[in-house]
Amino acid sequence: MRRLRLRRDASLTLLLGASLGLLLYAQRDGVAPTTSAPRAPGRAAPKPTPRFRTFQLPDAGAALPAYEGDTPAPPTPTGPFDFARYLRAKDQRHFPLLINQPHKCRGDGAPGGHPDLLIAVKSVAADFERRQAVRQTWGAEGRVHGALVRRVFLLGVPRSLGSDRADGGEVGGAQTHWSALLQAESRAYADILLWAFDDTFFNLTLKEIHFLAWASAFCPDVRFVFKGDADVFVNIGNLLEFLASRDPAQDLLAGDVIVQARPIRMRASKYYIPEAVYGLPAYPAYAGGGGFVLSGATLHRLAGACAQVELFPIDDVFLGMCLQRLQLTPEPHPAFRTFGISQPSAAPHLSTFDPCFYRELVVVHGLSAADIWLMWRLLHGPHGPACAHPQPVAAGPFQWDS
C-alpha cells in the first residue's frame, strides 16, 4: 500500500508540474512583445492604432523594472548625480550661445520659403561620426517630397573643457582644440548650435529650453519640428506623410508616449530622483526623448511654458511637465519606437534590423552611425527594399556607390 501511495503522489506531482508549466508558457506568450511581420506584396498595411506605453505601478517595496530597464543609455557618460550641486544651480537657465545659425530658417529663396520641417538633433562635440551619418541620410537638407527641410545639431561645451577653465583666465589647449573643430564644422555645414553649459546627461533639460527659445526667435514661421537623438533612424518620408494632413497652427506633439512612469528612488540608478526633488508618485505623460514631432504652434507655446516651469534633471519628463502646464496631452503614435524594435514573438527567426520593419516606421532609437547609413541605403537603394519584391533580388558584389 505504501508503494502504491508513493506512486500515486509522484504521478500527481508530475501532473501538477506539467499543468503549471503550461500555464506559465501561456502567460508568457500572452505578454510577449509583438511586431508586425512584413506584409505580402500588394497587400495594404493596416492603419496604425495610436497607443500609450504604460508602465505599471509596482507594489510598495517592489522593484521598479520598466522605466529603468527600457530607457536607452544616455548620450554622454554620467556618474553619481550630485543633487546638492544641482539644487544650488537649478535656477541658472540662461547661457550664452557660442555658435549660432541665425539664417537657418530664411528659406531657399522661393516665395514662402520658410521650412516645412526643422530637424533638431541632440549631439555632443566628439560625436562627429553620428552627425555625418545624419547629414548624409535622413537629416539631409533641401526639398524632400516637396517639403523644405532644415537641420541643426544641439551641443553644449564638453565637460572636461568647462572644468579646465581657470577662474577668469585663459582656457587650456583642449578648449582651443575643440572650439576650432566645432567652428570649422559650423563653417562647413552651417548646422551647429553651441551653448556655454556643460554637455552632460542631466543638462539635456538646458538643451531643451535653449533650443525652444532659439527656434521661437530664429524660426518663428517653421511649420513642424522634429527633435531627437543622434542615434535614431528616421524614415523621413513616413514622417512627412504623417504631417501632410496636420495643421501647423494647431497644437501637436506626437511620439512614443509614456504614461504612469514612476520616479526612480534607488540611489544607484542614474535616473534616481529623491522625493525632495519630485514628491508625486508618477510623472505626467511625456513623449520619449529619442524622437518626437511638434507643430509650430506648440513650439511657441512650449517655449513660453518651459520658461515658467522649474527645471527638472530628466529632459523628456521635464517636457511632459511643460505640456501639463499647457493642459496638452501628447499624441501617441505606434511608428515612433524610442525603445527600439522588439523581437517578433510570432516570427523569432526574423532579424529586427530588416528594411521590411523600418519602411513602416517613423523613428527607431538605438542605432550606430554605420547602422543608420546602412539602413538608409537598404531603403533607398536603386531597387528599393528587398521585401518589396516577390522574389529575392539577385545577389551580387556589394558596391558602396550603387
In a domain, 170, yes or no: no
Cα(235)–Cα(343) distance, rounded to whole angstroms? 20
Measured in whole angstroms, how far is the alpha carbon of residue 348 from the centre of its chain? 25
Is 138 exposed, middle or buried (CB count within 10 Å of its CB: 0-12, 13-18, 19+)? buried
Map residue 118 onto helix, strand or coil.
strand
Q: What is the pLDDT of residue 58?
A: 38
First to last CA, the chain: 80
Asked if the structure places residue 278 within a domain, the reply is: no
The confidence score (pLDDT) of residue 108 equals 57
Per-residue model confidence (pLDDT) at position 271: 83
147-157 and 192-198 beta bridge pairing: parallel
How many whole angstroms separate alpha carbon 233 and alpha carbon 291? 9
Q: What pLDDT score does 92 carry?
A: 79
Burial class (CB within 10 angstroms; exposed 0-12, middle 13-18, buried 19+) of 357: buried
Give 161: exposed, middle or buried? Use CB within 10 Å, 0-12, 13-18, 19+: buried
In a domain, 181, yes or no: yes
**Is there a domain that residue 236 lies in?**
yes
pLDDT in tens, the chain (402 residues): 555 555 666 665 565 565 555 544 444 443 333 333 333 334 344 444 565 665 443 344 444 333 333 334 444 444 555 666 666 666 678 899 999 999 999 865 555 568 999 999 999 999 999 999 999 999 999 999 999 999 999 999 997 654 444 333 344 555 668 889 999 999 999 999 999 999 988 789 999 999 999 999 999 999 999 999 999 999 999 999 999 999 999 999 999 999 999 999 888 887 888 888 899 999 999 999 999 999 999 999 999 999 999 999 899 999 999 999 999 999 999 999 988 777 666 666 667 787 888 888 999 998 999 999 999 998 887 766 666 544 343 344 433 343
Q: What is the pLDDT of residue 360?
A: 87
CB atoms within 10 A of CB 181: 13
Which SS3 state, helix, strand or coil, does residue 356 take?
helix
Residue 64 is predicted with a pLDDT of 36
88 domain-assigned: no
Alpha helices in 37-172 (DSSP H): 66-70, 83-89, 128-136, 159-164
In-domain check, residue 119: yes
Q: Would 24 be classed as within a structural domain?
A: no
Which CATH number fits the domain that encloses residue 357?
A: 3.90.550.50
pLDDT of residue 168: 37
Distance (Å, whole) CA 121 – CA 128: 12
Other C-beta atoms closer than 10 Å to the C-beta of 179 total 17
Instruction: Assess contact for 154 and 121: CB atoms under 8 A.
Output: yes
SS3 label, residue 222: coil
Instruction: For 216-275, write each residue's pLDDT tens digit.
Output: 999 999 999 999 999 999 999 999 999 999 999 999 999 999 999 999 988 888 788 888
The residue segments making up the domain with residue 120 are 93-159+177-257+288-314+328-342+351-380
pLDDT of 354 = 79
How far does Cα 316 stand from its chain's mean position?
Answer: 9
Q: Report yes or no: 316 and 289 within 8 Å, Cβ to Cβ.
A: yes
Q: What is the pLDDT of residues 83-105, one digit of tens each?
A: 666 666 666 788 999 999 999 99
Span 199-218, pLDDT tens digits = 988 789 999 999 999 999 99
Q: Which of 228, 211, 203 is nearest to 306 (CA)?
A: 211
Which grid cell sits at 170?
Answer: 585663459
- Domain count within the chain: 1
Q: Is residue 87 situated within a structural domain? A: no
